[in-house]
Structure 1
Amino acid sequence: MTELPFRPFPDDAAILRVGQGLLDHSLPRAEWTHEAHLAATTWLVRDRPDIAIDAEIATIIRSYNVAVGGVNDDTQGYHDTITRAYLSGVQAHVAARPSGESLVACVNALLGSPAGRRDWPLHFYSRDRLFSVAARRGFIPPDLASLPGPC
């Protein structure tokens, strides 16, 4: 049996736990994985219209990082350009999914797609540009190709 390149979520409840844990800072830091980032963002985009995701995502993640003992500086913690690149991918993914689809099916489809890969932003950004301090501090536009959704 071939191992998946990502850890799929077993059900909607597991995704809700991650999303709520991000918002209320109860998610253990060790569980804030790449998959958790994408699952929580998908839940926020899809199921939380009360949250203005484009305006609030930076504050949500920065405050979570600090609450669990992390630091947001020039070398670690919140990275605005990576976050906003993935947010554009999540928004495009959610918009293309069938209405009525379960949250877990939507999230696992994203994780299994090119937009769910850890290197996905490098399709749009050169490595030096993406991993620059300027890109961490604030959104900078891509230099290789346009992102699929709003930024």
Structure 2
Amino acid sequence: MNATRSEKYSSEDEIVRLVKDFEECTITREAWKHREHLVVALYYVSKFDLAIATKRMRRGILRLLEHGFGIDLEKEMPYHETLTIFWMRTVHSFWSERRDRPLSSIAAEMIASLDKDLPLRSYTREYLFSDDARKRFVEPDLP
């Protein structure tokens, strides 16, 4: 797909295709960027309650890392629990305020609005990227 940034995920079909690629671990590492994380999270929060959506996202990321990207999770663990919870809560809140709109419209606004550095408004870099924050959810350390 050669869609530009603003055109990508402009239909629910494109969103569903992305989710399918994520769940089947066929999305490439190069294509699995911040916006793809957000769009999959958006799809899940629109279909499931937050707890189930978060569980699906966590399980999907771990499967993708291992089966899609070939990472040995016993040797390397790029998964980050605090970031996953932070983004799932953020996406859920964003979606909740716009749930009457088409998913593709919400996705476009969300991609433009939710910068990948947003967690650093709530966490210091050192705390957010600590081993503890990677392994389990930690509450923000900034006011």
TM-score interval (norm. to shorter): 0.7 to 0.9
Partner of 1:3: none
Normalised by the size of structure 2, how large is the TM-score?
0.84
Number of matched pairs:
136
**Structure-1 separation of matches of 2:140 and 2:115:** 17
Normalised by the size of structure 1, how large is the TM-score?
0.80
Task: Provide Cα deviations, 1:7-61, integer angstroms capped at 9, x if missing partner.
Answer: 3323222221111111121222221111100000000110346x81233332221
Is the 8 Å Cα contact of residues 22 and 64 (structure 1) preserved in structure 2? yes
Is the 8 Å Cα contact of residues 126 and 143 (structure 1) preserved in structure 2? yes
When residues 63 and 22 of structure 1 are mapped into structure 2, their CA distance, relative to the original with a 3 A threshold, is same
Is 1:108 aligned to residue 105 of structure 2? no
Unmatched runs of 5 consecutive residues or more in structure 1: 1-5, 146-151
RMSD: 2.2
Per-residue deviation at 1:138?
Answer: 1.2
Where 1:30 maps in the other structure, the secondary structure is coil
Unmatched runs of 5 consecutive residues or more in structure 2: none
Task: Provide Cα deviations, 1:72-130, integer angstroms capped at 9, x if missing partner.
Answer: 4786521111111111100100110041x2111111111111xx101000011010000
Is the 8 Å Cα contact of residues 42 and 94 (structure 1) preserved in structure 2? yes
Deviates more, 1:73-82 or 1:29-38: 73-82
Deviates more, 1:119-128 or 1:74-83: 74-83
Query: Identity of aligned pairs, percent?
Result: 24
Is 1:134 aligned to residue 129 of structure 2? no
**Structure-1 separation of matches of 2:74 and 2:141:** 24
